[in-house]
Amino acid sequence: MKDAKRDLLSLAAVQLNSEELDKKTNIERMDDFILKAAGKGADLISFPEICITGYNIILYTKSKKTLLSMAESVPGGASFRHFSRLAKEKDIAVLYGLLEKDGDKLYNTYVCIRPDSTFSKYRKIHAFENTHVLQGSEFVTFDLFGWNCGTLICYDNNLPENARIYMLRGCELMFSPHQTGGFDIEVAGMGRIDVKLWKDRKKNPRHLFKEFMGPKGREWIQKWLPSRSYDNGFYTVFTNGVGLDHDELRTGNAMVIDPNGVVISESRSIDSDVIYAKVSKNALKGNLGQFHNKTRRPELYGEISKRRKGLSDTRNARNDMTKNSKIA
């Protein structure tokens, strides 16, 4: 087993095209990436949000019984047992997202399984996917090879306060699994991408690449995600779905962002892909985010935590912004 504590980490980040409700195929694709990353000496590999079953199908499934049949327990579920064995065998930490069931409760959950079979999990605190999917209520920090790590799932990253909480808890490495890009909200250049471009990607990849790198994909991500690293002085590992996700196209754009908000590794692929990066604790010293946060004046910030008029449930707020479809 690798050293328990490491100042230099080698990591892999995946953008994954998940087949809808085909766990066998999706896990096989994940296995291929895990074996590839382990062969390159990666200490950890990070996959996207709810990648075991596909994501958007959950938004439009009205039956709780059906959702429970799709979900798995953590620990104890089939994918958890499978990746626990593989993490131990290949000496690599595996992080991935799934629909979790806890009794009759459902959560959007992200799991970290270490090579020694210990694990941590985080439940999305701004879950909106379905009336039957509950919101988590805890910011979870966890140790990985001596690094203080955190998780914010997709929408959770949209609120700067969430990342700031992790900074205050000493977070050094933030995992940000997503299923995003090309979604059905026509604001700031966002909007759906024609699914015909995905089906025609082998004959005519140029148009799809332009969409993935444009304001519905990479350009949109660059408006806000690097600032989470810059403002808080930690690394961010962004993983995402790619390709057809029920009725929308996810844009991939897997990337690793350093504590200065600089993208140090990213995918330019229009299909499933893995990228690699080395992250060093030396970069956590003396960056501007850390410097600025030493000068915070918490006595002035009480207003931020007060409730105000107009607050909305995340699902209702998203439905208000969505153009062509509503979440179940």
pLDDT digits (tens, 9 = 90+) for 41-73: 999 999 999 999 999 999 999 999 999 999 999
Please tell me the predicted confidence (pLDDT) of residue 321. Answer: 87
1 — pLDDT class (breaks 50, 70, 90): low
Q: What angle is formed at CA 277 by the lines to CA 46 and CA 232, rounded to 5 degrees?
A: 80
pLDDT digits (tens, 9 = 90+) for 262-321: 999 999 999 999 999 999 999 999 899 999 999 999 999 999 989 888 888 898 888 888
Query: 213: how many CB neighbours lie within 10 A of its CB?
Result: 16
The type of residue at 247 is D
Is-contact 86 113, C-beta < 8 A? no
Q: How far is CA 150 from CA 92, 142, 143, 266, in A?
A: 18, 6, 9, 20
**Cα(187)–Cα(27) distance, integer angstroms:** 34
Task: Identify the CA nearest to 116 among candidates 258, 33, 3.
Answer: 3
Please tell me the predicted confidence (pLDDT) of residue 291. Answer: 93
**Cα(120)–Cα(80) distance, integer angstroms:** 12
Q: What single string gives the DSSP state of each residue in 176-188? A: EE---SS-S--ST
Task: Identify the CA nearest to 215 among candidates 179, 186, 176, 175.
Answer: 186
Q: How many CA atoms lie within 13 A of 182 on its CB side?
A: 27
Q: How far is CA 59 from CA 26, 34, 108, 133, in A?
A: 19, 28, 12, 10
Query: 89: how many CB neighbours lie within 10 A of its CB?
Result: 12
pLDDT digits (tens, 9 = 90+) for 88-130: 999 999 999 999 999 999 999 999 999 999 999 999 999 999 9
Model-level pTM?
0.97
Please tell me the predicted confidence (pLDDT) of residue 323. Answer: 75
Please tell me the predicted confidence (pLDDT) of residue 183. Answer: 94
SS3 237: strand
pLDDT digits (tens, 9 = 90+) for 11-35: 999 999 999 999 999 999 999 999 9
Summary mean pLDDT of the chain: 96
Q: Is the peptide bond before 215 cis (omega within 30 degrees of 0)?
A: no
Is-contact 193 168, C-beta < 8 A? no
What are the structural domains of the chain? 8-321 (3.60.110.10)
Please give the sequence-ordered ranges of beta strands (E in DSSP) within 203-282, or none if there are none: 235-245, 248-251, 255-257, 263-266, 273-280
* Six token digits for residue 41: 């000496």
Q: What single string gives the DSSP state of each residue in 5-51? A: --SEEEEEEEEE-PPTT-HHHHHHHHHHHHHHHHHTT-SEEE--TT-
Least confident of 106-115, 159-168, 188-197, 316-325: 316-325
| Per-residue pLDDT at 325 exceeds 80 | no
